[in-house]
Structure 1
Amino acid sequence: MTAAAPVADGPLARFALRSAAWAERWFPDAYVFAALGVVVVAVAALAFGATPTATAAAFGDGYWSLIPFTMQMAFVVIGGYVVATAPAVARLIDALARFPRSGRGAVCYVALVSMLTSLLSWGFSLVFGGLLVRALARREDLDMDYRAAGAAAYLGLGAVWAMGLSSSAAQLQANPASMPPGLLAITGVLPFSETIFLWQSIALTAALIAVSLLVCFVTAPRGASVKRANEFEGADRLAADERHAAALPPRTRPGEWLEYSPLITVLLAALSLGWLAYEFGQKPLVTAIASLNTYNFLFLTVGLVLHWRPRSFLNAVARAVPSTGGVLIQFPLYGGIASLLTAAKGADGQTLAHHLSSVFVHIASTDTFTLVMGVYSAVLGFFVPSGGGKWIIEAPYVMQAANDLQVHLGWAVQVYNAAEALPNLINPFWMLPLLGVLGLKARDIVGFTFIQLLVHIPLVLGLLWLLGLTLTYHPPVMP
C-alpha cells in the first residue's frame, strides 16, 4: 500500500510563509522601531520649527513619565504567567485536554479557550493556551496538527485581547493617574462602560470569536498533512517545560524553611484578600477592576495562593521576568515620543499632535473616521508592536481629531483596540512567549494566522464603521 501523498499548501499559505521568513530575516528588534520613532518625531518637531533645546527638553521630560504604567504592564505579563503555571492550573489544563474528540475539534477548542482567557489577561492566555496545546499533543489518539493548534493558541492575542480587561488603551484611559497630562486634557477619563463594556464592543468581540473559530475549522489540516509535535525539534526539547508543575527540589539549609512553608503565603493572602474585599465592597465592580493596580494585585494574589509555597511562586516569577524586558526598555521611549508630540511647540506655537489631528480632520469625516483610524492603527501596529506604547503615541492626535469631528471617544478607543490587534496575527514579536512554550518558530504558525488576517481585515473594519454609526459624541469628562 502506498503512502498517501501530503496535501500541498495553498497559494495564500505559501505566500504567508515567504512573508514571515522575510520578516524574520530583515526586521530589526522592536526596540529599534521605538528608537527610530523617537528620531522621526524629533526630526519632525524640528522641521515644524521647534528649537533643539525645546525638542531635547520634551524628550527628556517625557522619558520617565510612564514609569507607573510601565510597571503595571510588566505585572500584567508576570501575573498571567504565575497563575498559568501554578500546579492547580496545570492539573486543570490536563483535565481540559481530555475533552476534544477530533483533531479539528481540538484546534477549535484551543482557539476558543485562548480567546476567552485573553479577555481576562493576554499574558495568561498565551501561556495557558500554549500549555493546553502541549497537553493535547501528548494524546496519541488525537490526530491534531501541532502548527494549527499553536496558531489557534495565538488567536487570543491576535484577535480579541484588546477588547477585554487587559486592554492597555482602555486601562490607560480609565486611570487618570497613569495618563500623560497632555492626553488627559484631550480625552478626559473614559470608564470601561464607555469602551470595552459598550454593547457595540461586546457584539464586535462575539463576531470575531465566531468567525475565528470558523476559519480554524476549515483550515485545520487532516490526514496525511497533519504534523505532530514530535516532528518539530524544538518541541521535543521542552519536556522540562511540559512538567512545569513538578515538585520543588528539597531545601538544603535551615534558612530556607520559610520559603518552603505556606505560613507566609497564608498571612499575605489574608491581608491581600482583605484589601480586595474592601476595594470591591466600596466601589462598583466595573470601577474596581478598571484599576490596573487592583487588576494586577488580584492576579498576583491568586498566583501566590495557587503556588502555595513562596519558593514555587518566586520560581514562577523568575521565569516570567525575562518576557517583560521589551516593556521595561521600550516604554520610556514611548513616553519620550508622547512628550515630543504634545509638548514640543513649533514656530507657530502648535505641537505635532495638533498638526497630525488637523490632517485627520482634513482627510476624514465623522462617518469615515473609524475606517481611516482603523487602517492607520493597523499599519502602524506592525512597525510599533506595543498596544499600550503605541496608544500613547497615537492618542494625542487621533483623540483630538475625534473631538473635532465629534466621534464617540470611547468607540475611538475601541477602534484602536480592534484594529491594532490585526498586525499581531503576522507579527513575530508578540508570538515569542507562545513559541517558547511550544518549541516552534513563527514560520510554523504564521501560515494559519495569515489566513485569519485576510478574513479579519474586512470584518473588523466593516463592523467598526457600522457599529460606530449607532453611537453619539459626548464631550470629555475630567476627573
Structure 2
Amino acid sequence: MALATTAWSERWFPDTFVFAALALALVCAGAMFIGATPQAVAVAFGDGIWDLMPFTMQMVLVVVTGHVVARALPTARLIERLARLPRTGRGAVAYVAIVSMATSLLSWAVSLIFAGLLARELARRDELKMDYRAAGAAAYLGLGVTWAMGVSSSAAQLQANPQSIPKELLAISGVIPFSETIFLWQSALIAAVVIAASVAIAYVSAPAPGRAVTTQQLGITLETVRDQLPPRRRPGEWLEYSPIPTLFLGALGLGWLVNEFATKNATMVISSLNTYNLAFLLLGLLLHWRPRRFLIAVSHAVTASSGILIQFPLYVSLAHILINAKGTAGHSLGDCLSTAFVSAASTESFPLLIG
C-alpha cells in the first residue's frame, strides 16, 4: 500500500512551486469573486511580492549555513562516533529519530543532513540488521514533526523579528518574542511529549531483524561522500587555503556576539535571525577551517534553498491580495474569510473543528 501510494504521488504530484502558483490563482479568483477588479488584484500582487525579501534571505541563510555545518569534517567524525552506540536494528531506528528531532530544535537544516548521514553510517554496521527504509523515514522526523518547535522555526522567527514582518501584519500582531512562543514551558512540554511519542512509534513500527531490509538487500552501495579540497594551482589562491581569513572573520563575529549578549536581553538576542545566522555562519566557517573548503560546501548547499527563493515571494503576494484587493463593498477576501470563521465560532463548533 505504501509503495503504491508513493509511486502514485511521484507520478502525479507536481513541484511545490506549482502548488504555490495554484494557491495564488485560487486567492485571485476568490478576490475577483467578491468584486475586486483584475487590476486591483494585479496591483496587490506586484506591491506585495517583494515585501518579505529580508526574511526570505534570512531563511535562505538558515538552509545554507545548516547544510554547511552538517557537511563539515568534524561533524562527519562526530557522526561516526554516534553511530557506534546503538546495539539493535530497532534501537538504531529510534536513535535516528531522536537525533533528528533533537537537532531540529536547533536547526531543521542541520537535522535534515545530519540525521540522514547518521542513518547511512548506521547502515554500514551489518550486525545491526537495521531496516534502511525505516531509518530513512526516522531521519525526516525532525523536519516533519518538531522543526516548528525549535529556534529555526520560520513562523516563530518571523514574528520575533520586526524588520521581517510585513507592515500590515506587524500592525495587527506586533512583535512576538520567543519568550511568548517556543520558550514557553507549555511549548517545551509539548515538544517533549511529541518527541517521546514519535520515538516510540519509530521503534515499534521498525521491522524486526528477520523482516528488516538492509542496504545490501536494496542494492545500495554506501560510499563516503566528502567535499574534497582541490590542490592549490596559483599563488593568488593562497589565502583561500589559509585559515587566516577564517580566524579574522571568526574574531570579528565573536566580538559582535559577545557585545549583543552583554548589552541586550538574552532571549531577544536569541530571537534575532541575524544573531542565529551569524552564529551558524561562523560555526560553519570554523568547522571547515579553510575558506576554499567552506566555499565548496556553500556552493553545494545553495541548491537546497531554491524553493525558498522562488516560493516565499508568492506566499507574500498571496497575503497581500487577501488583505489589499478590495471588493465592491470595500472588503477584502481576508475580511470575508475572517468574518465567516468568527460568525461560525461557538463553544459547540470549536471542539468539532479543532478535534
Give the direction of change, closer, same or farther, for the CA distance of 1:366–1:196 in structure 2 (3 Å limit). Answer: farther
- One of 187, 195, 207 as aligned partner of 1:221: 207
Runs of 4+ in structure 1 deviating by more than 4 angstroms, as ranges, are 366-371
Instruction: State whether residues 89 and 209 of structure 2, in contact with CA within 8 Å, keep that contact through their aligned partners in structure 1.
Output: no
In the alignment, structure 1 residue 351 sits paired with structure 2 residue 337: no
**Alpha-carbon distance in structure 1 between the residues aligned to 2:10 and 2:198:** 25
> Quick one: which amino acid aligns to residue 143 of structure 1?
K
Verify the 8 A CA contact 2:246 2:286 in the aligned structure 1: yes
Superposed displacement of residue 89, structure 1: 0.8
- Partner of 2:126: helix, strand, or coil? coil
Q: What amino acid is the match of 2:226?
A: H
Superposed CA offset, 1:355-408 (max 9, x none): 111122123337865873x6xxxxxxxxxxxxxxxxxxxxxxxxxxxxxxxxxx
- Tell me what 1:435 maps to: none
Query: After superposition, what is the alpha-carbon deviation per residue over 1:219-273, rounded to whole angstroms, capped at 9, x for unaligned?
Result: 111233111123335x42x62xx3326x522111111111111011011111011
Unaligned regions of 5+ residues in structure 2, if any? Answer: none
Alignment of 1:71-90 (within 5 A): 71-90=57-76
RMSD of Structure 2 on Structure 1 (CA): 1.6
The residue type paired with residue 231 of structure 2 is: P
5 Å-filtered alignment, 1:206-285, equals 206-233=192-219, 235-236=220-221, 239=223, 242-244=224-226, 247-285=228-266
1:249 partner letter: P
- Paired residues of 2:44 and 2:317 also in contact (CA < 8 A): yes
Which of the numbers 175, 180, 185 marks the counterpart of 2:171? 185
Deviations 1:33-81 (A, max 9, x none): 1111121111111111112221111000001111111111111110110
Task: Specify the alignment match of 1:153 in structure 2.
Answer: 139
Q: How does 1:322-401 map to 2 (within 5 A)?
A: 322-365=303-346, 369=350, 372=353
Q: Report sequence identity in percent.
A: 59
Q: 2:155 aligned with 1:173, yes or no?
A: no
Residue of structure 2 in register with 1:390 after alignment: none
User: How far 1:84 moved relative to its partner?
Assistant: 0.5
Which letter does structure 1 place at the counterpart of 2:163? A
Could you tell me how far apart the structure 1 residues matched to 2:96 and 2:125 are? 14
Counterpart amino acid of residue 14 in structure 2: P
Sort the Cα spacing of 1:331 and 1:140 in 2 relative to 1 into closer, same or farther, 3 A. same
The CA distance in 2 between the partners of 1:54 and 1:370, in whole Å, is 38
Distance in 1 between the 2:309 and 2:254 partners? Answer: 28
Q: Tell me which residue corresponds to 1:450.
A: none
With structure 2 as the length reference, what TM-score do the two structures score? 0.96
How has the CA–CA distance of structure 1 residues 122 and 370 changed in structure 2, closer, same or farther, with 3 Å as cutoff? farther
Is 1:134 matched up with 2:115? no
**Is 2:19 aligned against 1:33?**
yes
Residue type matched to 1:244 in 2? Answer: R
Provide the rounded CA distance (Å) in 2 between the counterparts of 1:331 and 1:162: 17
- State yes or no: 1:286 paired with 2:272: no
Mapped partners of 1:128, 1:275: distance in 2: 28
Q: 1:164: which partner in 2?
A: 150
1:416-475 CA-to-partner distances (Å, cap 9, x unmatched) read xxxxxxxxxxxxxxxxxxxxxxxxxxxxxxxxxxxxxxxxxxxxx6xxxxxxxxxxxxxx
Q: 1:306 to 1:367 in 2, by over 3 A?
A: farther
- Tell me which amino acid in the other structure corresponds to 1:323: A
**What is the aligned residue count?**
355
Q: In the alignment, is the contact (CA less than 8 A) between 2:67 and 2:109 conserved in 1? A: yes
**Aligned CA distance change for structure 1 residues 364 and 97 (closer, same or farther; 3 Å):** same
Pairing of 1:396-435 with structure 2 (within 5 A) = none
Q: CA deviation at 1:18?
A: 2.5
Whole-Å separation in 2 of the counterparts to 1:370 and 1:269: 52
Q: Judging changes above 3 Å, is the alpha-carbon distance between structure 1 residues 369 and 72 closer, same or farther for their aligned structure 2 residues? A: farther
CA contact (8 A) 2:66 2:109 kept: yes
**Is 2:190 the partner of 1:204?**
yes
Counterpart of 1:117, as a letter, is T
- Confirm whether residue 52 of structure 1 aligns to residue 52 of structure 2: no
Change (3 A) 1:259 1:150: same
Quick one: distance in 2 between partners of 1:272 and 1:365? 52
Query: Could you say which residue in structure 2 is the equivalent of 1:455?
Result: none
Instruction: Please give the residue correspondences for 1:80-119 in structure 2 after superposition, counting only pairs within 5 Å.
Output: 80-119=66-105
Counterpart secondary structure, 1:251: coil
Distance in 2 between residues matched to 1:330 and 1:363, nearest whole Å: 32
Of 19-28 and 164-173, the range deviating more from structure 2: 19-28
